[in-house]
């Protein structure tokens, strides 16, 4: 057999193998978006990781897999939901000063998974429409002693007492600067102005250095283009930054102001976290007077350092009815732009069976799903539907997300359930939610928000119809 014949035979065999692989798995055409790749991670790698690694080590490994672009990408089915349902959500600013926040889809990542912003592009590739990093503290801190994360496998829950372990605002600012430099975004123009620092017009006659810089940038640009075009198209979305205070600090307003000043220019929205159960004294900031002082001060800081970024506050699910009323009143008085409901809980439901239920820390995952949904419903009613809510807590299916939207959440966050469902759960939630909306006659995801609260719902529905009619009328003029 001649060399030419051998090459032809090898080519035919390779083509036949690829054809068989395509027909059975779609790996050649869909790659990390294929159901086969999702199945590999969700049914083999994720359970194996739980068996081989402790929770914190598994967390770091998962983050590294995402950072390196090895995790599943959003599935083709989930990505096509926009053809059936308008999933865009527009969150208005309560002060009417800044532009509204337009989010391309309702499913996002809660704070805690990527605490320092090291894997943002990979997280968007998973299928999240918005990603919230943090909590970030002004100064670096290690957090609480290990072990500090525990799985409740029988209950599909997690208890953690990390205690705001953070690389600090300066390191995170560098990472966010790199991200914005590559991908741009809502606050990118402000970032560029700050980095230039008024140096416009200064002459530099060192032509050799300039030529070298141009060559380096050109090489970087070619490498970037190759990676993005040939390896994986870039995914972008809305970036939130969750801010915390240092454990040893007595100046909470100063800490949150520092976070806003250093990180606000890079964020699409900012979050004041006053509800982690693992930092001593933090939850006392949810009381009426301290919360009013904090939100008034941080709103002013936002207006000065990051006027483009809506400001949200994250609250606990353990508030009493009177405390929830106080929080709702303060939120409306201070014109905060929204709430995240809710953080982890100190409570331990009687239904828990895992021996780890005795561990100290905040409980998340399936055991708090119903409680967080009820908190969303209560806060939606207390604020008369005027304050946008991001709902989080135990979301592991499209039905879970749908229930929280009906309770009053405008957006939904996912985190702990990925421990048990795998990264492919993001695509499944997106598809299942789109199916539910279509089955119930909704064409826009915004139309289901608050459906459980009929009086508020129908008032807001009339407002939406009027706005759409006005927009259509303006478009025809």
Among the listed residues 276, 372, 397, 416, the single catalytic one is 276
Q: Which of 368, 313, 291, 418 is nearest to 94 (CA)?
A: 313
Preceding amide of 135 cis, omega within 30: yes
Residue 392: beta bridge partners?
A: 413
Which residues sit opposite 294 in a β-bridge? Answer: none
For 298, 381, 418, the CA distances from 126, given in Å and listed in that order, are 32, 33, 11
Q: Has 211 been annotated as catalytic?
A: no
333 vs 115: CA distance, rounded Å: 30
* Distance between CA atoms of residues 254 and 246, nearest Å: 10
Q: Which of 139, 136, 163 is nearest to 149 (CA)?
A: 163
φ, ψ for residue 130 (rounded to 5)? -145, 145
Q: Residue 261: name the closest of 191, 192, 337, 182 by CA.
A: 191
Q: How far is CA 23 from CA 16, 17, 41, 159, 231, in A?
A: 11, 10, 20, 43, 22
Residue burial 18-41, b: 16+ Cβ < 10 Å; e: rest: eeeeeeebbbeebebbbbebbebb
- The answer, yes or no, to whether the previous bond of 147 is cis (omega within 30 of 0) is yes
How many angstroms separate the CA atoms of 70 and 73, rounded?
Answer: 9
Give just the sign of the alpha carbon dihedral 33, 37, 39, 45.
Answer: negative
Q: Residue 399 to residues 154, 396, 430, 432: CA-CA distances in angstroms?
A: 21, 8, 10, 7
Instruction: Please list the active-site residues.
Output: 276
């Amino acid at each position: 057999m001649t060399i030419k014949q051998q090459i032809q035979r090898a080519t035919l065999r390779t083509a036949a193998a690829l054809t068989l692989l395509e027909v059975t798995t779609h790996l050649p055409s869909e790659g990390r978006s294929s159901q086969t790749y999702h199945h590999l991670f969700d049914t083999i790698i994720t359970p194996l990781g739980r068996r081989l690694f402790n929770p914190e080590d598994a967390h770091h490994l998962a983050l590294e897999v995402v950072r390196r672009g090895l995790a599943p990408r959003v599935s083709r089915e989930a990505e096509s939901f926009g053809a059936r349902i308008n999933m865009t959500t527009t969150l208005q600013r309560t002060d009417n000063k800044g532009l509204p926040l337009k989010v391309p889809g309702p499913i996002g990542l809660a704070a805690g998974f990527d605490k320092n912003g090291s894997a943002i592009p990979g997280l968007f590739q998973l299928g999240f429409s918005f990603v919230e990093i943090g909590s970030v503290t002004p100064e670096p801190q290690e957090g609480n002693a290990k072990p500090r994360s525990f799985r409740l496998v029988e209950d599909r829950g997690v208890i953690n007492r990390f205690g705001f372990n953070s690389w600090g605002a300066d390191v995170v600012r560098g990472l966010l600067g790199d991200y914005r430099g590559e991908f741009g975004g809502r606050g990118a123009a402000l970032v560029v102005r700050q980095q230039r620092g008024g140096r416009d017009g200064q002459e530099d006659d060192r032509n050799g250095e300039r030529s070298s810089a141009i060559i380096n940038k050109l090489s970087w640009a070619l490498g970037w283009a190759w990676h993005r075009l040939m390896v994986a198209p870039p995914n972008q979305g809305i970036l939130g930054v969750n801010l915390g205070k240092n454990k040893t600090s007595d100046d909470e307003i100063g800490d949150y102001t520092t976070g806003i000043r250093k990180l606000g220019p890079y964020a699409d929205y900012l979050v004041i976290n006053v509800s982690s159960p693992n930092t001593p004294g933090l939850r006392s900031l949810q009381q009426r007077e301290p919360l009013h002082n904090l939100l008034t001060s941080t709103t002013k800081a936002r207006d000065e350092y990051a006027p483009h970024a809506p400001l949200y506050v994250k609250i606990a699910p353990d508030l009493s009815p009177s405390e929830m009323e106080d929080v709702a009143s303060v939120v409306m008085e201070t014109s905060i732009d929204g709430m995240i409901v809710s953080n982890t809980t100190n409570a331990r439901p009687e239904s828990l069976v895992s021996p780890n239920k005795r561990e100290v820390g905040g409980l998340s995952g399936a055991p708090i799903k119903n409680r967080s949904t009820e908190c969303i419903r209560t806060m939606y009613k207390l604020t008369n539907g005027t304050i946008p809510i991001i709902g989080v807590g135990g979301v592991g299916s499209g039905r879970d997300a749908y229930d929280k939207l009906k309770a009053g959440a405008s957006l939904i966050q996912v985190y702990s359930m990925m421990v048990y469902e795998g990264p492919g759960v993001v695509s499944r939630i997106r598809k299942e939610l789109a199916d539910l909306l279509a089955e119930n006659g909704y064409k826009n995801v915004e139309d289901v928000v608050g459906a459980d609260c009929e009086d508020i719902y129908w008032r807001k529905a009339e407002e939406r119809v009027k706005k759409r009619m006005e927009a259509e009328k303006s478009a025809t003029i």
